[in-house]
Amino acid sequence: MDVDIPSSPGKFKSEKPHHHYLRLLLRWHYSSLHKFLCWTIVAAIVLFVLFLASPNLSSSSPASLHSSSITERRSLRTSSSSPAWGDPAWEKRVRDSARIRRRPFGISVLVTGAAGFIGSHATNALKRRGDGVVGLDNFNDYYDPSLKRARQALLSHSGVFVVEGDINDGPLLRKLFDLVAFTHVLHLAAQAGVRYAMKNPGSYIHSNVAGLVSVLEAARSANPQPAIVWASSSSVYGLNTEVPFSESHRTDSPASLYAATKKAGEEIAHVYNHIYGLSITSLRFFTVYGPWGRPDMACFFFTRDILAGKTISIFQGPDDATVARDFTYIDDIVQGSLASLDTAQKSTGSGGTKQGPAQLRVFNLGNTSPVSVVELVSILERHLKVKAKRKFVKMPRNGDVLFTHANVSLAKKELGYHPNTNLQTGLKRFVKWYLEYYAPPSGSYLTKKGRGGGSSSS
C-alpha cells in the first residue's frame, strides 16, 4: 500500500532545513479548484490557480484522525514559472542532461516524477552509473514542495535537469522526444496517497489516468519508441485475502480510488502494448520508505510527531487486529526499478506500425516480511531515543487494507531482485537523514534537552 496507517492530512510542518540553497527558494501557497466531470469520460479538468505569497507554511498537524483540517488549501497546483521551454538554452540543458557517458550499454531515460521520493533516488542512481537522464515533474503541493525543490537541487548538482511541467502537457512531451531519442521512460509521476482521494478525487484521474495516457501517447508516437517501466502499486491487491500476494492473484476488488487508478493503469498498459507494440513493465511497489521520503507516510509523520511530543494514532483492524505492512527500503526499490529498465526489451512499433508482439510484464517489488505498525513505532523510538505517546484507534474504512505481503519470486527470477535491507537498518538511515535535514543550524538537536519537545526542531 502506498500511504499508511494513520493519515496526517494536514500541512506538513515547516521546519527549515539549513541547506543554504533552500533559503533562496520562495515558498508560495497556491490554491486551485479542480473540476472534473466524470471519470469514465475523463473530460475537462478546470484549474484555477490563485496564488498568495506566504513565506511560511506554519501549521503543523498531529497524526490524528481528527486533524484533517486545512486540506482544502492543498488542492493541487500544477506547473509554475519554469523557463519557457523551447528556447535554445533550455534545449541545451535537456540534451546535456540526456548525454550517455557509459558506452556502449548506456541508456537514456526520461524519468517522470523525478522530484518525488522514488523518482529522485532512481534518477540519481541512473546518473551515477553513467546513463543519460532527464527528469520531469510539476512540483505540485500535495506535500511540501520545498522537499521536492531540495531533491531537485541535489539532482541538479549531479548534472540532471528536472524539467518543470505536467505529464498531461502533450506538446512538452513531444518536444522532449524530439530533442532526445529516449531509450526508456521510467514513469513515476502520479497522485499518490490513499486517503487524499476522498478530498481531491480529480487529482487521481488527472495524473494517474489521463497523465498515464498522455505519457503512453507520446511514447507510442516517438521514433524510436522507448520501453516503459512505470509504478503501479501493491494497492491493486485490494481486498484480496490470499497471501503472500502474487502477480497472478486477482486484482479486481480495489479498496480505494487510488488503487482503482493504478489498476486502470495496468489495463491501459495492456492496450498500448497490444495496439502499438510498446514494451511495458508495471511495478507493484509495496510501502516504500527511506531518506527523502514522503511526509504523508507513516515513517515520516510518526518520526515528526514523536519528536514533537505529540500523541500518535495507531490503527487497528476489527478485533484489535494489528495493521502490518511489507515495508520496502528505497535502495531495494531502486535496484528493482533499474533491473526492470535493463531487462526491458525494445518496443516493436517504431514508425507507427507494430512489428510484432512486445514485452508486457508485471512485478511485485516488496520486502517479503510484513512488520506491524506497533513494531515500526518501537524501532523508531529506539532510533530517536524518545518514547512515543501512543493511542490506538479503529481503522476507518477509507481505503487502507490491514495487511500487505509480497511474493517476489518472479522479480527474483526475472530481475535478480534481492531486497536486503530490513526495517531496523532502513529506519536507522531514515532517522539519520531526518535529523540532519530538519535539525536547526545550531545542531541543538543532538543535545539532550533539545530533543523531542522543541518547537523549532520538530
Ligand X SMILES: *[C@@H]1O[C@H](CO)[C@@H](O)[C@H](O)[C@H]1NC(C)=O
Ligand Y SMILES: NC(=O)c1ccc[n+]([C@@H]2O[C@H](COP(=O)([O-])OP(=O)(O)OC[C@H]3O[C@@H](n4cnc5c(N)ncnc54)[C@H](O)[C@@H]3O)[C@@H](O)[C@H]2O)c1
Where do contacts with ligand X occur on this chain (CB under 6 A)? 244, 246, 407, 409-410
423 touches ligand Y by CB under 6 A:
no
266 touches ligand Y by CB under 6 A:
no
DSSP string computed for 133-202 = EEEEE---SSS-HHHHHHHHHHHHHTT-EEEE--TT-HHHHHHHHHH---SEEEE------SGGGGT-HH
> Binders of ligand Y among 126-165, rule CB under 6 A?
137-140, 148
**CB-wise, 4 or 310, nearer to ligand Y?**
4
> Binders of ligand Y among 222-261, rule CB under 6 A?
231, 233
Determine the residue with CB nearest ligand Y: 116
| Backbone torsion region of residue 32, taken as left when φ is above 0, otherwise alpha when ψ lies between -120 and 50, otherwise beta | beta
| CA–CA gap between residue 83 and residue 85 (Å, rounded) | 6
Least distance between ligand X and beta carbon 270 (Å): 19
Catalytic: which of 258, 272, 329, 417?
258
**CB-wise, 8 or 348, nearer to ligand Y?**
8
Q: How many CB atoms lie within 10 A of CB 446?
A: 9
> Binders of ligand Y among 173-192, rule CB under 6 A?
188-192
Bridge partners of 109, per DSSP, are 133, 184
Least distance between ligand Y and beta carbon 114 (Å): 7
| Backbone torsion region of residue 290, taken as left when φ is above 0, otherwise alpha when ψ lies between -120 and 50, otherwise beta | left
Which of ligand X, ligand Y, none does residue 207 bind to, with CB < 5 to 8 Å depending on kind?
Answer: ligand Y
Least distance between ligand X and beta carbon 407 (Å): 4
Identify the residue whose cell numbers are 492530512: 9
**CB-wise, 168 or 407, nearer to ligand X?**
407
Which of ligand X, ligand Y, none does residue 409 bind to, with CB < 5 to 8 Å depending on kind?
Answer: ligand X
Least distance between ligand Y and beta carbon 333 (Å): 8
DSSP three-state, residue 256: coil
Least distance between ligand Y and beta carbon 148 (Å): 5
Q: Is 258 a catalytic residue?
A: yes
Cell triple for 320: 484489535
For 323-362, b/e burial (b = at least 16 CB within 10 A) is bbbbbbbbbbbbbbbbbbbeebebbbbbeeebeeebbbbb
**CB-wise, 138 or 303, nearer to ligand Y?**
138
Which of ligand X, ligand Y, none does residue 192 bind to, with CB < 5 to 8 Å depending on kind?
Answer: ligand Y
Which of ligand Y, ligand X, none does residue 211 bind to, with CB < 5 to 8 Å depending on kind?
Answer: ligand Y
**Helix, strand and coil in the chain, % to nearest 5:** 35, 15, 45
Which of ligand X, ligand Y, none does residue 410 bind to, with CB < 5 to 8 Å depending on kind?
Answer: ligand X
Which of ligand Y, ligand X, none does residue 167 bind to, with CB < 5 to 8 Å depending on kind?
Answer: ligand Y
117 touches ligand Y by CB under 6 A:
yes
Which of ligand X, ligand Y, none does residue 302 bind to, with CB < 5 to 8 Å depending on kind?
Answer: none
Phi, psi for 144 (deg, rounded to 5): -40, 110
Which of ligand Y, ligand X, none does residue 246 bind to, with CB < 5 to 8 Å depending on kind?
Answer: ligand X
The one among 119, 290, 370, 419 contacting ligand Y by CB under 6 A: 119
What 8-state DSSP symbol labels residue 412?
A: H
| CA–CA gap between residue 263 and residue 233 (Å, rounded) | 8
Least distance between ligand Y and beta carbon 151 (Å): 8
The type of residue at 276 is Y
Residue in 127, 130, 185 with CA at minimum distance from that of residue 161: 127
**CB-wise, 272 or 417, nearer to ligand X?**
417
Least distance between ligand X and beta carbon 282 (Å): 15
**CB-wise, 124 or 457, nearer to ligand Y?**
124
- Angle CA 141–142–143, to nearest 5: 80
Largest interatomic CA distance in the chain: 68
- CB hemisphere CA count around 341 (13 angstroms): 28
Least distance between ligand X and beta carbon 414 (Å): 9
Q: Which stretches of the chain bind ligand Y, using CB under 6 A?
A: 2, 113, 115-119, 137-140, 148, 166-168, 188-192, 207, 211, 231, 233, 285, 287-288, 294
Which residues are catalytic, by number?
A: 258
